[in-house]
Amino acid sequence: MSESLLYLQEVTKSFGGLKAVNKVSLKIPEKSIIGLIGPNGSGKTTLFNLISGVLYPDSGQIFFRGLRIDRMPPHERFKLGLCYAFQIPRIFRGMTVLENTMVSLKKQLGEQFLIAPFRRKWINQEVKNAERVLSVLEDAQLVNLYDKLSSELSGGQIKLLQLVRTITSEPKLFLLDEPGAGVAPSLAKEIFRKISRLRDEEDLTFFIIEHRLDLLFDIVDKVYVMNRGEIIAEGRPEEIIENSKVKEAYLGG
């Protein structure tokens, strides 16, 4: 537990009679890329919602960086370094690309009501932040769109924006729910290459749900497989492909 960044112990969540997540235990070591796969409706998104704080579990415990977080409000989990990119992107549609990215930065002085009116107190920090954001947006090739409303971007760009906007916030763990879905194949490849690069260069950790196994299996260290709310298998990609339970789950529906 001490060496793992994220640790789940028998986490359970029901919706009415349906056990969407049933006694799930798992470990995510630091600086790893871990995949999560499973048929539709197997509880993957629900599990991410529990980790990020969108939902609270009925029972079980979640630890992040050694702290128990399962009752913590989502904004405090983010402050610990937990970033979540939704399956269906949730960007701020009435805000520009730049605003979307800037708002994700942590510890901004100008976010305090009594400091905000006094520009001089926060302008230096703001300019430094903007310069960091500039390099991130340049890297993602979104820099020329900085003043565009995010709702005017293409689907792939929106997905990309959701992903990159948190990079400047000193994240530790990224939860990515289907980063490759609804994205042109070339961009999807680029996104996965970038994930791999971020792990190597910035020591980030990734926990990724992805249906496109070809993309996922290229970069992951380990894969968890869920079915009907339970983890039915875990292992390296090549082991998972051979696993009979996994085949059954996918074929049996």
Partner 1 sequence: MSSELITLLSTTLTFFSIYVILSLSLNLEYGFTGIPNFGKVFFFSLGAYVTGTFVPRVMHFLFQIDEPICSATASTKRIVLGIQEPAALMMIFIMSLILSGIIGAVVGYILSYPSLKLRGDYLAISLLIVAELCRVFVRTEPSIVCGTNGIGGLPNPFIWIEDAITKEVSYSTLSATIAFLTYFFIQRIVNSPYGRVLKSIRDDELASQLLGKDVKKFKSEVLMFASSLSAIAGCLYAFFIGFVYPDDFIIVWTMYAWLMLLLGGVGNNRGVVLGSLVMVMIDRGLRRIPSFWLSLPFDISYLRGIIFMVLLLVIIMYRPRGIFPEKPLETPAKKVFETFIRNSLKFKKNNLINSSE
Ligand X SMILES: Nc1ncnc2c1ncn2[C@@H]1O[C@H](COP(=O)(O)OP(=O)(O)OP(=O)(O)O)[C@@H](O)[C@H]1O
- Look at residue 94 and give the partner it binds from ligand X, Mg ion, partner 1, none, a contact being a CB closer than 5 to 8 Å depending on partner kind: partner 1
- Look at residue 61 and give the partner it binds from Mg ion, partner 1, ligand X, none, a contact being a CB closer than 5 to 8 Å depending on partner kind: none
Q: Of the ranges 43-51, 67-75, 184-192, 235-243, which one interacts with ligand X (CB under 6 A)? A: 43-51
Q: Of the ranges 41-49, 69-77, 149-157, 230-238, which one interacts with ligand X (CB under 6 A)? A: 41-49
Distance CA(100)–CA(166), nearest Å, equals 9
Q: Of the ranges 12-20, 119-127, 131-139, 164-172, which one interacts with ligand X (CB under 6 A)? A: 12-20
Amino acid at the residue 228: R
Q: Which of 19, 122, 189, 190 binds partner 1 (CB under 8 A)?
A: 122
- Look at residue 46 and give the partner it binds from ligand X, partner 1, Mg ion, none, a contact being a CB closer than 5 to 8 Å depending on partner kind: ligand X
For residue 149, what is the DSSP state?
Answer: B
Distance CA(8)–CA(145), nearest Å, equals 40
User: Smallest gap, in angstroms, from Cβ of residue 45 to ligand X?
Assistant: 3
- DSSP H helices, the chain, are 44-52, 74-80, 97-102, 119-139, 155-164, 185-202, 213-219, 237-242, 244-252
Distance CA(242)–CA(235), nearest Å, equals 10
For position 42 contacting ligand X by CB under 6 A, the verdict is: yes
Locate 110 and state its tokens. 């100008």
